[in-house]
Amino acid sequence: GIKTVSFIGLGQMGRPMAKNLHEAGFRVVGFDASEEARLEAGKSGLIVSNSLEDAIRDSDCIVTMLPNGDIVQDVLVSNDRFLSAHKGALLLEMSSSAPLQTRQLSELVGTHLRVVDAPVSGGVKRAIEGTLTVMAGGSNEDIESSKPVLEVISSKVFSCGPVGAGHAMKSINNYVSGAGVVAASEAVRLGTEFGLEAETIVDVLNASSGKNNATEVKMKQFILNEAFSSGFALGLMSKDIGIAADLAKSLNLNLKNLEETDLMWKRASKEVGGSADHTRMFEFVTTNSDS
Ligand code: NAD
């Protein structure tokens, strides 16, 4: 069984996930490139290392919760760093990465590590609660052996198919989620322009067929109160929708709404800034909707 977990990437999501694993009894050794992130994570009681090699040495399980697949590849593959882990250790790639890149990664490290992609949905709040949704890709056997770790982090683990399937599923989810944020923002702009109250619009949508996660959660918790504090960056949402758009292209699919949604998030990311909260898409929609 898994005893030692190396947790790489102690940001908005990684920090609470690593803390929950530590509290569940795993020996968690964390690493992050940012000193601030390391200090913050250290306050939770887990061991934090200043060196990646030390963090993964003799590990049974490496969890990566980094911004994207390029960084995951860079961190693990350069200088063959992944070789410091035990042969046969599990790599749980929980970042929202690109599925085809994850397959490549799996080929690069596959002689030494068993790879499962296991991205999550639910945001910072559910990361803290340990109730994320996990979408896993890998062999049934590898997904089974990763469950002791995944079940601490998640209340729902879906097996989606072979390596890469979890990352494909995650990009599809975030396409629908990001399109929902745009649709809900345009709906509020349209309705208020006509003279409806924003609160009324959201309440009616939530009791009707137009409801989605943006109307049910984001509008009142982060947008209409102008808190913009979901903890999920605009640049990360844009990256995820870009992954879905690239996947569609690689499969020779023409999906117009996906293309338009991708362009819109890319523009917003450039103009509002990638590190702004993604719920600021509402401001982008509002300020760009006058003809
Ligand atoms: P974040 O930016 O808060 O955290 C990423 C961490 O990675 C940072 O602490 C950063 O210092 C560290 N990092 C960057 N480059 C590094 C390197 N080369 N070596 C070591 N550490 C490095 O991002 P997050 O919100 O925690 O998201 C992480 C992943 O999870 C992303 O792929 C994101 O798309 C996905 N995700 C985020 C949310 C959310 O609500 N925030 C929800 C689901 C999935």
Query: Mean pLDDT in runs of 10 for the chain (291 residues)?
Result: 96 98 98 98 95 94 98 96 95 98 98 98 97 98 98 98 98 98 98 98 98 98 98 98 98 98 98 98 95 83
CB 71 within 8 A of CB 101: no
CB 37 within 8 A of CB 44: no
> What residue owns the CA closest to ligand 1's atom 31?
67
Q: Is the CB of 75 under 6 A from ligand 1?
A: yes
Does 170 qualify as catalytic in the annotation? yes
- With the most atoms of ligand 1 within 8 angstroms of its CB, the residue from 8, 29, 32 to mutate is 32
Q: What is the pTM of this model?
A: 0.98
Q: What is the CATH number of domain 168-287?
A: 1.10.1040.10
pLDDT at residue 58 in the model: 87
Give the CATH fold of the 4-162 domain.
Rossmann fold (3.40.50)
- Cα atoms found within 13 Å of the Cα of residue 287, Cβ hemisphere only: 9
Q: Where in the chain is the domain with CATH 1.10.1040.10?
A: 168-287
Q: Is the CB of 120 under 6 A from ligand 1?
A: yes
Distance from the CA of 225 to the center of ligand 1, in angstroms? 26
pLDDT at residue 199 in the model: 98
Q: Where in the chain is the domain with CATH 3.40.50.720?
A: 4-162
pLDDT at residue 18 in the model: 98
Q: C-alpha distances in angstroms, 173 versus 50, 117, 167, 169, 237?
A: 34, 15, 10, 6, 11
